[in-house]
Structure 1
Amino acid sequence: MQLEFKQIFTAFMVLFAVIDIIGNIPIIIDLRKKVGHIQSEKAALIAGVIMIVFLFVGKSLLNLIGIDVNSFAVAGAFIIFFIALEMILGITLYKDDESSAMTASVFPLAFPLIAGPGSLTTLLSLRAEFEIENIIVAVIFNVIVIYAVLKTSAKIEKLIGKNGINIIRKVFGVILLAIAVKLFAHNIKMLLA
């Protein structure tokens, strides 16, 4: 087992940027308002498990059901696109009358928001470059950061205030929309090539 700090740090930073847990704070606060409480430990743990399992079986799993990574990323781009529209326009596209803290912690928080197509496809590309144990350590560090942000989202909300949250929500909605468009454009090009 060869742990390399440079690989761990690079993989951590790449995943941190793709997961964008700081940018997701408005969505987390929004979800908490809808369901009352989010199980931070469960959401972080499930997201971590999904990412680590996908690291090992992702490509084989997609191949098994006849889906290539690019199709998976295009589907993910649509989900991110709709989440971004909700943030920018202040509308609710995803309605779940049975929504509870448990289901919100898993869907849409752990998947597809944290361990979504963006982070899962990133894991597949990192695997081509880095040692698997370094990627696992990077995922674990990201899970710790995710847990900390989820746990302190109420304090962050108090600190920023309602108007601050609305501004951040709109700004990150536009950024998320841009990520969705980029993810879609890049992967549709690969599919049509």
Structure 2
Amino acid sequence: MNFNFKEIATATMVLFAVIDIVGSIPIIISLREKSGKIKSGRASIIAAVVLTMFLFIGEEILNLIGINVNEFAVAGAFILFFIALEMILGIQLFKQSEENLSMATVFPIAFPIVAGPGSLTTLLSLKAEYATENIIIAIIVNIIIVYVVLKTSAKLQRVLGKNGIGIIEKVFGVILLAIAVKLFTSNIQELFV
């Protein structure tokens, strides 16, 4: 085992910034209102499994179906772009049927909010630089943070109120849009090299 506190801390911070669960609070609250409830533990476990599996076999899966990491990231940028537009403009692009609302725990919370293209491609980048066991600890720390945020989102909603949530939703919508644009521009160039 090659545990390194510096690697764990760096990988944890990088994943935290990419997952941006705090910035996703407005989306989580909106989904909680639409679906009635979100299973915090289930969403966290599914996200942890997806992230850990992708760490080990992600590149092989993408290669198997003929997709490289950059193409995967560009596709993910589109998903983030449309979620950001919903937040900023207050419109609904992704229509949820009643049966889909029960899936809110899995889609879009576990994927693509937590285990999204940004975090999955980040894992592949971290794997090239850091020891796998350090990245796994970083994933676990981030999943604990995700669980706490999901569990307390109803309390946060009461504290912030509708106006507070509306403001946060717009601000983080713009941030999410910027992340989508950055993800798109940094990966689209690689497709034409």
| TMscore range, shorter length | over 0.9
SS at match of 2:104: helix
Q: Give TM-score, length-normalised by structure 1.
A: 0.98
What are the equivalent positions in structure 2 for 1:129-140 lying under 5 Å apart?
A: 129-140=129-140
What are the equivalent positions in structure 2 for 1:29-48 lying under 5 Å apart?
A: 29-48=29-48
Deviation at 1:99, TM superposition (A): 2.4
Q: Which residue of 2 aligns with 1:6?
A: 6
Q: Which amino acid is the alignment partner of residue 115 of structure 2?
A: A
Is 1:108 paired with 2:108?
A: yes
Q: Any idea what the Cα deviations from partners look like across 1:110-147, whole Å, max 9, x if unmatched? A: 00111000000000000000000000000000000000
Q: Any idea what the Cα deviations from partners look like across 1:88-110, whole Å, max 9, x if unmatched? A: 00011111212233x11001110
What are the equivalent positions in structure 2 for 1:151-162 lying under 5 Å apart?
A: 151-162=151-162
5+ residue gaps, structure 1, are: none
Q: Percent identity?
A: 66
Q: Any idea what the Cα deviations from partners look like across 1:20-79, whole Å, max 9, x if unmatched? A: 000000000000011000000000110011000000000000000000000000000000
Is 1:126 paired with 2:126?
A: yes
5+ residue gaps, structure 2, are: none
Aligned alpha-carbon RMSD (Å): 0.6
SS at match of 2:92: coil
Q: Which moved more, 1:28-37 or 1:90-99?
A: 90-99
Cα separation, 1, equivalents of 2:100 and 2:92: 14
Q: Which runs of 4+ in 1 moved over 3 A?
A: none
Q: Give TM-score, length-normalised by structure 2.
A: 0.98
Deviation at 1:159, TM superposition (A): 1.1
Q: Which amino acid is the alignment partner of residue 149 of structure 2?
A: V
Is 1:59 paired with 2:65?
A: no
Q: Which residue of 2 aligns with 1:190?
A: 190
Cα separation, 2, equivalents of 1:82 and 1:192: 24
Q: Which residue of 2 aligns with 1:73?
A: 73
Cα separation, 1, equivalents of 2:100 and 2:187: 32
Q: Which amino acid is the alignment partner of residue 45 of structure 1?
A: I
Deviation at 1:155, TM superposition (A): 0.6
Cα separation, 2, equivalents of 1:159 and 1:122: 33
